[in-house]
Amino acid sequence: MADSTTSAQAPAPHRAARPVYVIGGGPGGLSVAYALRARGIRAVVLERSDRVGASWRRHYDRLRLHTTRRLSALPGLPMPRRFGRWVSRDNVVRYLEKYAEHHRLEIVTGVEVSRVERTADGTGWLLHATGGRELTGAAVVVATGHNHTPRIPDWPGRDTYTGTFLHASAYRDARPFAGRDVLVVGAGNTGAEIAVDLVEGGASRVRLSVRTPPYVLRRSTAGWATQYSGVLSRRLPAGLVDRLARPLLKVTAPDLSAHGLPRPEAGLATRAAEGAVPVLDVGLVGAVRKGAVEVVAAVEGFEDGEVVLADGGRIGPEAVVAATGYLRGLEGLVGHLGVLDERGRPVVRGARTPHGAPGLYFTGFTTPLSGGLRELALDARRIAGAVARDGAPGVSRLPG
């Protein structure tokens, strides 16, 4: 009879503990790293720039949060009261720096991840990064966010335009445009605020090119922040929110139809779900009513030094600022995994993982009425809970 010890199954080979890699050192990535750390899980943030909060540092100078300070804090650290109700861009950056320091987050800067794929044994994730690095993680959280790659439409004849042309990501303040005729393309929050900034900064003429009129809402009415309404409605079906919002908007939202900005036909929540967030007014309404900002049709192309508009008009601005948004830039990173929809957005977000991609999470790819930073904070806790609950194979634990 054979010795029973020789017939017993050999123990599985030891697998080195693997961290959870978080791609992106913005508010989404930092909050997830903290939430994982709070559960005793080692998280390593990989940031392609040399500092955290890179996208916030690139925004225009006058930017302030449209969400309140209290509802914009990340998990584990309130925003200081001295920042005021509507926090400035510079104070958001200071807060992110303090957040990383306060929570002693493990952050590696100057590392850009180009591709994520399953490990050969199917138990984790392999990240291909700057300098030929190959990093193996138990799980991966993609937190590169909305403002990844500036999007500029392929307008016919744009290369023949001889005026100043820049994407809004390169706009800082109005000083270079004082005394000049400027066209801002895009009526989202960025385009609206840049148009107001140009007026206040002394541009001789400011026009705002609009393809699809946005909802224009007051940031706050009688002390009630618009964000509060978004929080109250976040669990309701979009169709119901559309119906409830319609009479309220007639009372609280300014009617700019006579100035070229009619109220949208689609409902507020329906449009937000499609990525068209409302414009929260910080001066646009007054500027449009006074004629300081002129609303014009969408840009169709450029010809003979002029801008051709969709209504057949032609204008000759000295400068064009394209506030035309950003691409998420996820195709090269995870597009081969079948985890993106036809618009390049993750098919699932938060604590859910895509089918066939266990341990792969996404955060920061929505435009909620309740506030982006608030939702990032909620996502962070959910993702950390999912990682801890699902027990990613070989996940590295913090000592103690």
Q: Residue 3 domain-assigned? A: no
Q: Residue 274: which pLDDT band, with cuts at 50, 70 and 90? A: confident
Rounded to two decimals, the pTM is 0.91
Is the Cβ–Cβ distance between 65 and 225 less than 8 Å? no
Q: Which domain holds residue 229?
A: 151-324
Q: Does 381 share its domain with 252? A: no
The pLDDT assigned to 248 comes to: 80
| Domain-ending residue, one of 305, 324, 343 | 324
Tell me: do 291 and 356 sit in the same domain: no
Q: Of 296, 324, 352, which marks where a domain is finished?
A: 324
What mean pLDDT do residues 328-353 have?
A: 95
Tokens of 272: 């937000």
Whether 239 and 315 map to the same domain: the answer is yes
**pLDDT at residue 2, rounded to an integer:** 38
Shared domain for 300 and 155, answered yes or no, is yes
Same domain, 87 and 219: no
Of 289, 309, 324, which marks where a domain is finished?
Answer: 324
Residue 165 domain flag: yes
Euclidean distance between CA atoms 168 and 189, whole angstroms: 11
Domain identity same for 165 and 262: yes
Rounded to an integer, the average pLDDT of 302-311 is 96
- For residue 399, tell me if it sits in a domain: no
Predicted confidence at residue 15, as pLDDT, reads: 56
Do 161 and 270 sit in the same domain of this protein? Answer: yes
Summarised one tens digit per residue, pLDDT across range 59-89 is: 999 999 999 999 999 999 999 999 999 999 9
Split into its structural domains, the chain has a count of: 2
122-131, 174-183, 285-294, 386-395, range with the lowest pLDDT: 386-395
Q: For residue 253, what pLDDT is reported? A: 81
Per-residue pLDDT tens digits for 170-222 = 999 999 999 999 999 999 999 999 999 999 999 999 999 999 999 999 999 88
Could you tell me if 182 and 206 are in contact, meaning their C-beta atoms sit under 8 angstroms apart?
yes
Shared domain check, 343 and 286: no
> Are residues 188 and 117 located together in one domain of the fold?
no
Could you tell me if 120 and 229 lie in one domain?
Answer: no
Q: Is the pLDDT of residue 225 over 60?
A: yes
> Which residues on adjacent β-strands are paired with residue 98?
none
Verify that 265 and 356 share a domain, yes or no.
Answer: no
